[in-house]
């Protein structure tokens, strides 16, 4: 197998899964749940690696950083409510998740994609934050794969939306005003 994980997966079609590794187990589950998105991430990584080798010795550029961050810690937000999307984009966490709690529950769907975040969720804490892409509607897998396919080569992780996932209504106990006011987790 190729020494670069991504190229090895691309060429073999096999996802390495170490025994007793929850991280690898969650990654394999992500491949099952989001095959188009995972394949797109893998193909983009492989293209970038092949383009940069041997000049950069496999160092990641902005696009590979984005791909890695989304793959490990990503979430997919599906929402058509422009007001809620504006609150999300402006990191208005208390207004979004507390004051608009019912609207969020009715109009905003958040699905954790990143396998590292799923592993971290086994020991929940408020500081777990995803980096999200926003879709207006449609199939999550094809929508996320399309979003990634449309990302220009120089795009950095800044194109991803910060999302303190434990702020979503009902995901963590004690979600009151003080909870959302904690700037360690809910940064403006």
The pLDDT tens digits for 146-174 are 999 999 988 999 999 999 999 999 988 89
The pLDDT score that the predictor gives to residue 125 is: 85
Q: Which residues pair with 132 in a beta bridge?
A: 75, 161
The pLDDT score that the predictor gives to residue 3 is: 67
Three-state DSSP at 19 gives coil
Contacts of 59 (CB under 8 A, 6+ apart): 52
| Nearest CA among 158, 101, 160, 162 for reference residue 128 | 162
In a domain, 125, yes or no: yes
In a domain, 188, yes or no: no
In a domain, 147, yes or no: yes
Segments of the chain with pLDDT less than 70:
1-3, 53-58
In a domain, 101, yes or no: yes
The pLDDT score that the predictor gives to residue 54 is: 61
Predicted TM-score (pTM) of the model is 0.91
In a domain, 187, yes or no: no
The pLDDT score that the predictor gives to residue 151 is: 93
The pLDDT score that the predictor gives to residue 136 is: 95
Other beta carbons less than 10 A from residue 152's beta carbon: 8
In a domain, 150, yes or no: yes
Q: How far is CA 24 from CA 19, 76, 113, 174, in A?
A: 8, 20, 14, 31
The two tokens of residue 139 are 């199939």
The two tokens of residue 36 are 């188009």
In a domain, 137, yes or no: yes
Domain span at residue 34 reads 5-181
The pLDDT score that the predictor gives to residue 110 is: 96
Q: How do beta strands 129-135 and 161-164 pair?
A: antiparallel
Give the number of domains in the chain: 1
In a domain, 64, yes or no: yes
């Amino acid at each position: 197998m190729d020494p670069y994980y991504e190229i090895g997966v691309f060429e073999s079609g096999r996802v390495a899964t170490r025994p007793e590794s929850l991280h690898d187990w969650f990654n394999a589950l992500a491949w099952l749940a989001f095959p188009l998105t995972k394949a797109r991430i893998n193909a983009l990584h492989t293209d970038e690696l092949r383009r940069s080798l041997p000049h950069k010795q496999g160092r990641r550029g902005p696009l590979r950083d984005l791909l890695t961050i989304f793959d490990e810690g990503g979430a997919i937000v599906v929402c058509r409510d422009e007001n809620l999307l504006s609150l999300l984009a402006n990191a208005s966490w208390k207004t979004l998740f507390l004051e608009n709690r019912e609207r969020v529950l009715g109009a905003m769907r958040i699905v954790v994609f990143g396998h590292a975040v799923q592993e971290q969720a086994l020991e929940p804490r408020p500081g777990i934050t995803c980096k999200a892409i926003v879709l207006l509607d449609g199939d999550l897998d094809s929508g996320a794969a399309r979003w990634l396919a449309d990302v220009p080569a120089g795009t950095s992780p800044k194109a991803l939306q910060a999302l303190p996932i434990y702020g979503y209504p009902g995901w963590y106990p004690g979600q009151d005003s003080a909870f959302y006011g904690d700037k360690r987790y809910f940064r403006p």
